[in-house]
Every structure is written in structure tokens, then in C-alpha cells.
Amino acid sequence: MQEIVSAIDVGTTKVCALMAAVTHDSLGGMALQLLGAGEASSRGIRRGVVMNVTEATDAIAAAVEACEHDAGQPMSSAYVGIAGSHISALTSQGMSPIGSGSIGNMEMHRALEAAQAIVLPQNQDVIHTIARSWTVDGQAHIFQPLGMTALRLEVDAHIVTGSRTAMSNLVQCVATNGIDVDELVLEPLASNKAVLTPDERKMGVAVVDIGGGTTDIAVFIDDALCYTAILDVGGHHLTNDVAIGLHAPFETAEDLKRRFGHAVPERVAEDETVWATVFGEKSERSFSRQFICQILAARLEEICELVHENLKKSGYRNKLPAGIVLTGGSSLLPGISELGRDMFTLPVRVGSPSSRLPITGLSRALQSPTYATSVGLLLWGLHDDGFSIHRRFEVEPAMVHSGEWVGQATRWFKNLLPG
């Protein structure tokens, strides 16, 4: 039977659903063949979090239906992205004695479980427990301890937690559409898979996904996830600033931003004007394009400053030789890399899902930073991201139908071996 991987990215601006078939080459390597893609405008989502279950459920249904239609088959389960300022991350250590003398899956699993034994604030739950590095009999910085002979195994793990309510609501919206959630995946953990090169992840890099409602940060050094953060700011703020600055409706401001926006106002001719309808006037008025770009640049500088402060506080700002990779829909704004280089004094590039990824059938339209999370979720479903424990949600169908579902979750341990 054909093995299928599906992804649903429930963003603040759009919901995107993708479906792919797993393919195997003669050397045992795995890849994906895209079968279908569907998109719908987002509703009921604010800053990455479900605010209206009915609206969000309908938006997901529309995207999934379009994807199923494109693929010619139904979607039964999916990897679902999660973001929002309720997400926190911390580092924790765990230990496991080695019974049989050599380290097996079981011992690694136990060490990760021990790392998970932390006191969480009320209503917070663990989403991911990801090994950063291992210590074998006191020898630190081991990346692959499997099969080593030892007495004691310790792990340094990155633990991502989120609000139980936010997770439950998101799972409910997906489950009500008859789709099981394979895993909830922190969005920057997915998007990095679509836009970073192995060299960048090895050297040290931060992926910054500027979406509509949130800006997600993930730092990778030595191929390991070191830091994650979700900021409550995104492209909607840019549009809102233009709307306020011009006294124009949000849709008009969004259109102006996309058509005439630039992150570096000096790159736009001083005398260039654009026309738009504003509140209280019947006919269109002209505006300086540079003025619009100045509004956008001011907010973008603020976003970059927030990211910069965050990276400094995390202690990783000076450990990023490969710099910053910007992605998400807002990184489509021309000049954003230039602005980023000025603000971060680091190499900055815009990252899109590209044809070098192990996915065939990725259309030009999907090779855009807007789809980094959706494509990354598919890739997450293809590989295990190293040694990790992720949370799988199982919903009793009866509960969904009776509307009494309150987010029961059971832990599911993914195969500890990568690939």
C-alpha cells in the first residue's frame, strides 16, 4: 500500500494542506512525491492561535478539501504546525543507567524521558523533547551514542512546551474534519527543514520565519536545535501600520504593501507616487511610495530588533557564522535581506523550499517562503529529526462528534533512530 504523508499549516493568514507519497530508491533512501496541495484563507486564528474553533475548523476543511481534490484521495492523518506566544522552550538533562553494557534505543529513550520530568507551569504540556547532545560515562558532546559500551548515559535535551488549551483547540479543529494528528510540530522546527542547508545547520544559523501573525525563531548549531522562540509580531502589523498611516482599509494597505512595498525606502525613487482609496473619500488619492516604504521599514526594524534582542538574551547571537535565514510570507518584501544585514551585522538571506529538497512535484508556486512551514511539515513526516520524543494526540471519535472532547492526549514515542 502507498505510504502517504500529509501536512496542515494553520497560519494566521492562510491554511495550507499538502499530501505526498513516500518513495524509496534502490539504495534505501526515502523521498516524497507531492500528490496534492490546497489552500484557504485563514479564519478564527490570531497570532498563530485558534480563537474561534468553528471558523478555524471550516478554514481547515476548505484547505483539506482542495488538497484532497488535487490528490484524488482522502487525507486520513497529518502533521500539524503549531506556533503562538504560549510556546516556551527550556533545556533539561536526563540520565539512564546502562543495563546490558551497551547503549540501545531503550536507554536513550529512558534518558529522554528522565529529561522530560520537569515541573511545568499549570496548563502547559510538553510538545517536543529533542536530544541536543549526549554524555557517555562523563564524555560530553557525543552525537551518536547508539551501540557504545558504557555504564551511564546522560542527555542534554531541548524541551518545547505549549498551552494545553491551545494545543487541544488546534487538534480539535483538525480532528473534527476526520483527520488524525500524527504530531503537532513547532512551526520553526518544520520550516528550517525546507530552507536550511546542512552546512548552515552545522556551522550555526538562525531561521526566522516572519509570517502574518508571528515571527518564529529557531537556532541550529552543530546540526542540533539549540533555541526556539515565537514572537507575537508579523506581517499583519506591517499592513496595519500602512492602513493607519494612510487612513486606508486593511485590504488596500495589504495590496499596497505587496505591490509597492520595499524594506529599504532609499531604494525607491523619491518622486514615485501610488494611488489608493482612503476612508472618507470617494475618489483615489496619491501617496508617496517612499512614505509607504518608510512605514514598513520602521516596523521591520522593530521586528529585527526584537529578534536581535532575543538572540542576544539566548546567548547564541555570537555563535551564528552562517547568519540568519529569513523565511515566511513577509520575507517576500524586496530589500528585506539588505535591511536584515544592516540590523544584525550578520549574513542574511531569504530561504524558500527549493528543488534540491527530496520532494518531486513541488510547483514553482510552492517554492516560495510562504510555504516553508507546510513543505517542512511534510519533510518532518519523512524523517525523524534525530533523537527525540514527540507528542502524538489521539482523539476518541465519539468525543469529537458529541462535542465533549477536551483534549485528551496520549504519549507516543517515535522510533528513536534517525531516518
- Residue 332 interacting with ligand ATP (CB under 6 A): yes
- Residue 11 interacting with ligand ATP (CB under 6 A): yes
84, 99, 134, 334 from 89: Cα distances, Å:
12, 31, 19, 32
> What is the number of alpha carbons within 13 Å of residue 355 lying toward its C-beta?
4
Q: Which of 94, 162, 329, 381 binds ligand ATP (CB under 6 A)?
A: 329
Q: Which of 161, 172, 177, 214 binds ligand ATP (CB under 6 A)?
A: 214
Would you state the torsion angle of the CA atoms of residues 283, 284, 287, 289, taken in this order, to the nearest 10 degrees?
180
| C-beta of 186 vs 339, nearer to Mg ion | 186
- Kindly state the smallest distance separating residue 57's Cβ from Mg ion, in Å: 18
Please check whether residue 391 is in contact with residue 412, taking contact to mean a CB–CB distance below 8 angstroms.
Answer: yes
- Kindly state the smallest distance separating residue 238's Cβ from Mg ion, in Å: 15
Burial of 369 (0-12, 13-18, 19+ CB in 10 A): buried
What cell numbers appear for 395 in the block? 482523539
| C-beta of 96 vs 337, nearer to ligand ATP | 337
- Residue 333 interacting with ligand ATP (CB under 6 A): yes
What cell numbers appear for 388 in the block? 527525540
Residue nearest to Mg ion according to CB distances in the complex? 211
Q: Which of 38, 145, 188, 328 binds ligand ATP (CB under 6 A)?
A: 328
The DSSP call for residue 215 is E
- Residue 370 interacting with ligand ATP (CB under 6 A): yes
Count of residues touching ligand ATP (by CB under 6 A): 25
* Residues in 290-349 at the binding interface with Mg ion, rule: CB under 5 A: none
The DSSP call for residue 312 is H
Q: Rounded to 5 degrees, what are φ and ψ at 236?
A: -60, -35
- Residue 376 interacting with ligand ATP (CB under 6 A): no
Q: Which of 38, 94, 234, 265 binds ligand ATP (CB under 6 A)?
A: 234
| C-beta of 15 vs 115, nearer to ligand ATP | 15
Tell whether the torsion through CA atoms of 147, 153, 158 and 160 is positive or negative: positive
Query: What's the angle, vertex CA 127, arms to CA 397 and CA 125, rounded to 5?
Result: 85
* Residues in 206-225 at the binding interface with Mg ion, rule: CB under 5 A: 211
* Residues in 141-180 at the binding interface with ligand ATP, rule: CB under 6 A: none
- Residue 12 interacting with ligand ATP (CB under 6 A): yes
Whole-angstrom distance, CA of residue 292 vs CA of residue 64: 36
What cell numbers appear for 136 in the block? 557517555
- Residue 11 interacting with Mg ion (CB under 5 A): yes
Would you state the torsion angle of the CA atoms of residues 77, 79, 80, 81, taken in this order, to the nearest 10 degrees?
-170
- Kindly state the smallest distance separating residue 87's Cβ from ligand ATP, in Å: 12
| C-beta of 84 vs 211, nearer to Mg ion | 211
What cell numbers appear for 176 in the block? 473534527
End-to-end CA distance of the chain: 20
- Kindly state the smallest distance separating residue 410's Cβ from ligand ATP, in Å: 27
82: closest CA among 37, 129, 124, 50? 50
At residue 396, what is the residue type?
A: E
At residue 245, what is the residue type?
A: G
Contact string (CB under 6 A) for ligand ATP, positions 65-104, x = contact: ------------------x---------------------
- Residue 373 interacting with Mg ion (CB under 5 A): yes
Whole-angstrom distance, CA of residue 329 vs CA of residue 238: 12
337 binds, among ligand ATP, Mg ion, none (CB under 5 to 8 A by kind): none
188 binds, among ligand ATP, Mg ion, none (CB under 5 to 8 A by kind): none
| C-beta of 56 vs 112, nearer to ligand ATP | 56
Please check whether residue 267 is in contact with residue 282, taking contact to mean a CB–CB distance below 8 angstroms.
Answer: no
Q: Which region among 11-19, 22-30, 132-140, 349-357 touches ligand ATP (by CB under 6 A)?
A: 11-19
Q: Which of 213, 265, 335, 353 binds ligand ATP (CB under 6 A)?
A: 213
Query: Which residues sit at the interface with ligand ATP, rule CB under 6 A?
Result: 11-14, 42, 48, 83, 211-214, 234-236, 239, 254, 257-258, 261, 328-330, 332-333, 370
Query: Which residues sit at the interface with Mg ion, rule CB under 5 A?
Result: 11, 211, 373
